[in-house]
Each structure stands twice: as structure tokens, then as C-alpha cells.
Amino acid sequence: MIVKCHHGVSHATMCKEYRKNGDRLISHNAALSYDVIKVKDKLEHAQEKYSKHSCVKCVELNHYRYVTEIPNDPDYKNQYGLTKIKANLAWNITKGREASIIAIVDTGVQRSHPDLKDKLRTGYNFVSNNKDTNDDNGHGTHVAGIAAAITNNRIGVAGTAPRNRILPVKAFDNNGMATTHNIVQGILYAADQGARVINMSFGAGAYSSVEADACAYALKKGCVLVAAAGNSGSSKRFYPAGYSGVISVAATDVNNNKASFSNYGKWVTVAAPGVNILSTYPDSTYSSLSGTSMAAPFVSGLAGLLAKKYRTNRRISKLIKGSADSIKGTGSFWKYGLINAKKAVQTAAG
């Protein structure tokens, strides 16, 4: 369970309270003033008890979030997504820059993959609490390749942002699951490491106060936050995509239609290709997957391209929205349309 305290309440005070109740402190997050505790009582009773405490601002369960992919034919060989968003034309103007780091908060990234190994910064593993960020699931490696795989190396696939480096942040386990606490730590870490863009291809329907705080922290640090809108085919908000300041991304198919699985609604910011997307995969292979998880890193890659010109996340976000193409569903399925990398970088270039 997560207990968030009011400003000014000391950690020592809360530790005494936990001991008095027979509860155990698991972790303390000083940046956002919350604790993760293991309670002796039933969760609902403990939640009610702590929520009434004068020192406590809010209490929430340490929910699990899930990565948002749908497996598909691993032999699919058409990388149509880059041409749909006109990334190949944008590269005539800019290919991004190494200093503009794209953080992938996910299941890790295969460090030895030939299309990724020279792009990876040293990251962190919040599942095992070490620096081993290798991918034991596959999702994170796939997402990383869409955003920024090595390009023009005569092998494999091309990434949306060919020159940008990748910061792997492993918050999800081999089953593609992560607690709210691990996700929050991952977002804070990415922001503190200087990432310009943070890709979040995961989520759930439950709102989290501490996760929202982590996103606000990263935004204040100047990060562009991009998140998958979810794969339930629903109009209900999905988090972290639904938090203020986050660019939420729906998925489209090869014909620019909304993918059948994609969440939608006026709360969704933009759309990007997310059906049968070919990208890097563990064991130095390639695979095609579908999901809003695959759509989000196209937007993160575009943000990486724009970070070469613009310093503020607000300017980058505004440019991504303003340059999007109005396609079928714009105004109802998503607010701004299908991202257009060529138009975005042309506008940035003046």
C-alpha cells in the first residue's frame, strides 16, 4: 500500500505510526513524500485507517500496471509506420542528436542487439535494484527500436529518431507487470538522468496520485512525456496517458483507421501507427507487434527529433499537436490527428 504524507510531516513520525500498527515499511520516496508499506491488517481496513490520519494526504493501493502490446506475425516485413508519419522525409532536415536522450520505461532493452547496442546509455533496473537492464520479456526492446533503432547500418530496421540515444529503465518484470512504486521510481530516475523524452508504453484504468506527481515532476524537469492510450477499445481514461501534460497516443492501421483495439476519445492527444509494427526483439531478432505500445514510441521518436531545435517540452508538445494530419476520427477518437514528422521538423526549422 502507498501512503502519501502532507508537506512537513517527518518520515520518522510515520515510521512510528507504522510500527505502532504492526505494519512494515518497504520503501520511502523522499522526492514525492510517500511510503510503500506492507500492512498487517486487511488492505481495505488499513486503507481506511490511514486515510483518516491527520498526517496523511492520501492512501492508494500499489497497483500493477501492464505493458500494452498485442503479439502478431513475427515474419511481417513491412515497416510502413515510418512512411505513414513521414519520418523518412523528416530525416532530410534532421536525424536528431545524441544528446537528446529518449528514456524507455519498460521491461528493459536487449543490450547486445545489433540495431540497438551502440545507442544505449547505462540505465537502471528497479525490479532487481541493479544496473542490469536487459530485457526478459521483449516488449521494451521492441518499443526502443521503434523510437530510435540504429539507421543506415545495412541490417534490420530503422528508428524514428536515428541519432538519439536510448536510456533503458527497467520497471517491468518478465511478465510485463510493474507496481506503481517501481513505475514512479523509473519516471523520476529518467527525469533526473536528463532524459528529454520519456516513453511510457503501459498503463491501467486506475488513477494514481503518486504516479501523477511523478509525471508532474518530470514535466517540471523539462521532459516530454508520451504514453500509450490503452488497448481496451474503450473511451475511458487510461493512466499514465490520462494525466495532465502527457501526450496520449492512440493506434492506427495501415489505412489510417483507428485500430480496433485502441482506446479513444477527446482525452487522447494524437494517433500513430500501431498495427503490425516491425521492430527489434530479443535474441537479436525482429518481430511485428500491435498495440498502442507500438504507436507511442513513434511520437517519442518525433519528440526526440524536435528536441534538437527546441529546448522546452511545451514547445515540442505544441509542435507535435499542431503539425498532425486531420484523418478520419480526428475530433472524436483523438484530438489532433495522425502525427506528421516532416511537417513538424519543417516548422521547427523555420
Give catalytic residue positions: 106, 139, 293
Instruction: From 110, 102, 165, select the one nearest 132 (Cα to Cα).
Output: 110
3-state helix, strand, coil in the chain (%, to 5): 30, 25, 50
Cell of 102: 529518449
| Residues whose CB falls within 8 Å of the CB of residue 195, separated by 6 or more in sequence, listed in order | 101, 102, 103, 167, 223
Cβ neighbours, 10 Å, residue 345? 26
Cα separation, 131 vs 59, whole angstroms: 30
Whole-Å CA distances, 283 to 40, 145, 239: 43, 14, 31
DSSP assignment string, 169-195: EE-S-TTSEEEHHHHHHHHHHHHHTT-
Cα separation, 11 vs 16, whole angstroms: 9
Phi, psi of 320 (to 5 degrees): -60, -45
**By CB neighbour count within 10 A (0-12 exposed, 13-18 middle, 19+ buried), where does 102 fall?**
buried
Q: Burial letters for 329-339: b for 16+ Cβ neighbours within 10 Å, e otherwise?
A: bbeebbbbbbb
Amino acid identity for residue 60 in this structure: E
Helix (H, G, I), strand (E, B) or coil at 225: strand
What 233-236 contacts at long range (C-beta under 8 Å, 24+ apart), as own/partner pairs, is 233/260, 233/261, 233/262, 233/263, 233/264, 234/263, 234/264, 235/263, 235/264, 235/265, 236/205, 236/263, 236/265
Strand partners, 281: 285
